[in-house]
């Protein structure tokens, strides 16, 4: 469900963290809810192949 920017500023955000885990860890330590994505480069790091697969799916 989309939360508009104005609502976001007044509410308490819930985060999805993709990449550097320390960013999520620090927010979690500050008491925020964070869902960590277990990310690895798509299609073995081949950006063009990943884009091709995105188009197919």
Neighbours of 51 (CB within 10 A): 12
**Residue 16 engages another protein in binding (rule: CB under 8 A):** yes
Q: Which two tokens stand for residue 56?
A: 């197919």
Cα gap 19→52, rounded to integer Å: 22
Q: Which residues between 18 and 37 bind another protein (CB under 8 A)?
A: 18-28, 30, 32-37
**Interface with another protein, residue 41, by CB under 8 A:** yes
Q: Which is nearer to another protein, 37 or 56 (CB)?
A: 37
Per-residue tokens: 23: 């960013």
Q: Which positions lie near another protein, rule CB under 8 A? A: 1-6, 8-28, 30, 32-42, 44-45, 47, 50-51, 54
């Amino acid at each position: 469900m989309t939360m508009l920017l104005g609502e976001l500023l007044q509410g308490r955000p819930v985060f999805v963290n993709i990449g550097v885990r320390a960013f999520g860890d620090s927010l979690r330590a500050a008491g925020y809810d964070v869902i960590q994505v277990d990310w690895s480069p798509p299609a073995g790091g081949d950006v063009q192949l990943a884009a091709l697969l995105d188009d197919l799916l």
